[in-house]
Structure formats: structure tokens, C-alpha cells
Structure 1
């Protein structure tokens, strides 16, 4: 009786068990591989191809500047950058306005602005600039405003022809460091700020000037031709609105003919 029962179980159950095992193995083989999803570590997302830093559409040459500074359309703001900025940064193309104030820039080279001919305004106030190579601004044909106040300049380079405003207050400019043609040919220059320097003479000034600040220098004398034309008694310097000569070792009362062509007397010491 036991043999028949065993035979019965073997005939009925064994095929069923084998069929079930085979089915399970079949399902294992067919199991989709993508059911196991690997989630990226958040700490490594910045290194992915889709991050702003590594994206293929981003110009790598512009990244350092625009990570350290604020880059808006046409404008770059690099003020009091940390870590310290010791040189003019590489600028995105088509930059029109650069503000790199209060950093540790020491020198401006001919290469710094060679590829950014679109610049209209540069402000480098409060750096440590003691040297500017003579052709540093040569290609900036659109530059209208240049501010180099609060630096360590003893001489000036050649300036762009279309400048409207130039500010070099609080430097170490000396007369021998300012060429006689430095401003004379700038026929659009309206605002010239050279206060708190070491100038001993007033350089030739363009007719276009409206405001000139020369306060707190070492200017001890001026001539009748500094502002006027001695051979033309009817000449009036129509554009000039303000001349500041206060803080110089200069007694203006000793040079009355020097101001006959001006609409207003210079600000300074008359007694």
C-alpha cells in the first residue's frame, strides 16, 4: 500500500514541483534590470554634467570671474573679493561696465583689456595699482569713464580718446609722470579729478573741460596761459564751470590775469 501511495505522489507532485521551480527561475531571468534605481549622492551633484560649473555650454574662460564676482548682462561687479584679487580678472566678452573696487590689484597690463573693446566704464578705486603699461587702454575706443582713485600711481599711461570722465584722486602722481599731451587731445573730456597728488604744475587742459579738481597738490605757481590765452583778450573758456586749487602752496591773488577768461574764480587761497 505504501508503494502505491509513494508512486502516486511521485507521479502527481514531482512534475508540479519541477514546473513551479522552472517558473520561478524564468521570472528571475526576465526581471527588469531597471527596477533597482541608484540615487546620486547630493554631495556629488555639483560635479555632474548638468551643473552650471561643468556644463558644456558654459565658457570655461569666464567661470573664475563670474564665480568670484557678480556678472550681469554687460556688467561685472568685483568689489572686495575674497580670496584677494591681485590682478584684473578675465572678463566675459561684451562687458561694458567693470567695477573692481577695493581689492589688491597691483598692476594693469596690455593684455588685461585687449579682448574687451566693448568697455565703456572702468572703476578700479581703492586698489594697490602702482603701474599701468602704456598701451593698457589703447584698444578701448568706447571707454567714457575711467576711475583710478585711491591707488599708488606716480605716472599716467596713454588715455583713451573718447574719455568723458577721468578720476585719479588720491594717488602719487608727479608732474614728470604726466605727459604734456595726456589730456590736451582728449576733446570730449569734461570731468578731470587729480586731487590729493604730488603735482607741481598744471598740465595742458582741453577746451572741453567743465570741472577740474587739482586740490591738495604741490602747485606753487601758474601762468596766464594755464586756463586762458594771453594773445586773445576776448577769449572766454565757456565750458569751464569749476576749478579747485585749494590746498596748494599757491596764492591765487598773485595771478589775477590767469582767470580773466573763466566764468567763475577758482576755489583756493587768495590771502
Structure 2
């Protein structure tokens, strides 16, 4: 009888202890399983990725990749700092794929824009209307054939503007503080360049208009140091082109490089046209 009572008390106790030990061991084993293998983790992970922003301000990408494919979309439809490289004050949009066909919306603090070798075909007055911090714009190697007046002239800090290797037939109004202007390799003719387009730019230092279709030398500001007009259709010059024909004492010491090579004009026919210069223009003399 005593043995029966002993078994009735001990056996349930052993069963309870064993169950408790098993639960503890099970918990220890589950504790070693990586979180991604636990039930419910996959759904939580997907939710977290959906809530992450595709990109941060100023174009610094998150560690997580952007969700959703971008292939087949037009470059102009994408967020600017997703298709370009945005650093503090600078935006680099060079050879963007898919094709960039217009100037993207720029961060407000942009000072330097490099949008070279894309398929931009027109510059509108709205493209830079709100970006008054711009100091340099480089649009080399696009297919720009039209620039609306006011697109650049209302930028108070703009100093360097490059429109080389495009399809311009007419120059827009230029900002007063410009120091460098480059429109090499376009389709510019004299009728597409206003007589005072450069004359009023009193800070302009370097002017590049090579490889166009200009028939005459435009009016040049006193501040110029370098002017490139090679490979145009210039046929003649006058005593007022570089100097002042009515003032034999007039000098232009700052203008030290004039290129007229590749034009049909024979410079030796105009010996009195260079008396104010430190060096003779580079070009054809016979």
C-alpha cells in the first residue's frame, strides 16, 4: 500500500519537472535561431522596407535599394537626385540613362549644374526661375536649339555659362555678371547675335564662339582677355572691331589672345585694325 501511494505522488511530480525542463530547453534552442527564420519576420521586414524613403535629401541614397523598377521610364520623370549625383550645392547629370530631354527640377541651393551629353532640346524661362544661387551652368553636348529670353538673364550670381556642342541659331540674353561664356560648335550666325549681346557684359573675361557660322566679329567688352572666333565665316574686320579708329592712343592691354584662324578673312589687309593690341590675332595673313 505504501508503494502505491509513493508512486502516485512521485510519478506526477517527475512528469511536471520533465515538462518544465523541456520548455526551458525549447526556449534555449529558439533563442539561437536567427530572427529572419522566426514566424512573422518576413511580413515585418516587407513592411519596414515599404516605409523606408527611396532617397534622402540632397541625393544621399539609403542603404536599402529603391523599390520598383525604373527601366523604361523617361529620365525627366525620375526624382532629380535619383538619376543625377547631388552633392552640397552641385548637381551632376551627365549622360543620364534613360535619356534626359529637359532640365530636371533642381534642389533650391544648387550653385553648380553639369548636365552634359544628354538630349535636352530646349531651355525655358521656368527651368532656373527659382534657383537664384546658380554660379555655373554647363550644358555641353545636348541638342538645344532654343533658349527662351530670361532663362539665364535673371540669374544674379551666374558667372560661367557653357552651351557648347548644341544647335543654337540665336543667343539668349545673358546675365550681367558673366565672366565666361562658351558657345563653341553651334549654328550661330551674326543675325542671331544681338549687337550688344556681349558689349554690356563688363566682367566678361573669356568668350568662345569658335566653329559657328558668324559673318562678323561681334562687339567686344573692354574686360575681355581671350576671344576665340576660329572656323567661322568672317570675311572682313574694321578699325573699330578691336580698337577705336578715331583714337590712335587707345590700347587694350588685357586682350592678349584673339583667334581668327579658319576664317576667309585675310588679316594683312587690315594693318591698322590691331594697333591697340599687345599681340596680333592668330589667323590668315596671306
- After superposition, the Cα gap between the structure-2 partners of 1:251 and 1:44, relative to the gap in structure 1 and judged at 3 Å, is farther
The DSSP-based 3-state class of the residue aligned with 1:253 is helix
Q: Does 1:91 align with 2:93?
A: no
- After superposition, the Cα gap between the structure-2 partners of 1:224 and 1:44, relative to the gap in structure 1 and judged at 3 Å, is farther
Q: Does 1:266 align with 2:281?
A: yes
Matched residue, 1:245: 260
The one of 196, 207, 220 aligned to 2:235: 220
CA contact (8 A) 2:153 2:176 kept: no
- After superposition, the Cα gap between the structure-2 partners of 1:46 and 1:132, relative to the gap in structure 1 and judged at 3 Å, is farther
1:255 Cα deviation from its structure 2 partner: 0.5
Structure 1: how far apart are the matches of 2:81 and 2:276? 50
Matched residue, 2:32: none
Matched residue, 1:176: 191
Matched residue, 1:104: 119
Q: Does 1:164 align with 2:166?
A: no
Question: Which runs of 4 or more aligned residues in structure 1 lie more than 3 Å from their structure 2 counterparts after TM superposition?
Answer: 40-47, 51-55
Matched residue, 2:51: 49
Q: Does 1:208 align with 2:251?
A: no
- After superposition, the Cα gap between the structure-2 partners of 1:43 and 1:241, relative to the gap in structure 1 and judged at 3 Å, is farther
1:87-110 CA-to-partner distances (Å, cap 9, x unmatched) read 011111110100000000000000
TM-score by length of 2: 0.78
TM-score by length of 1: 0.82
CA contact (8 A) 1:146 1:166 kept: yes
Structure 2: how far apart are the matches of 1:167 and 1:42? 55
CA contact (8 A) 1:47 1:54 kept: no
- After superposition, the Cα gap between the structure-2 partners of 1:41 and 1:166, relative to the gap in structure 1 and judged at 3 Å, is farther
Task: Kindly name which structure, 1 or 2, has the bigger radius of gyration based on alpha carbons.
Answer: 1
- After superposition, the Cα gap between the structure-2 partners of 1:165 and 1:46, relative to the gap in structure 1 and judged at 3 Å, is farther
CA contact (8 A) 1:48 1:54 kept: no
Matched residue, 1:39: 41
Structure 1 range deviating more: 240-249 or 45-54: 45-54
Structure 2: how far apart are the matches of 1:243 and 1:206? 13
Which stretches in structure 2 are left out of the alignment for 5+ residues? 1-7, 17-34, 61-76
1:85-136 CA-to-partner distances (Å, cap 9, x unmatched) read 0001111111010000000000000000001110000000000000000111
Which stretches in structure 1 are left out of the alignment for 5+ residues? 1-11, 21-34
Provide the aligned length of Structure 1 versus Structure 2: 243
Structure 2: how far apart are the matches of 1:268 and 1:43? 70
1:39 Cα deviation from its structure 2 partner: 1.8
1:157 Cα deviation from its structure 2 partner: 0.4
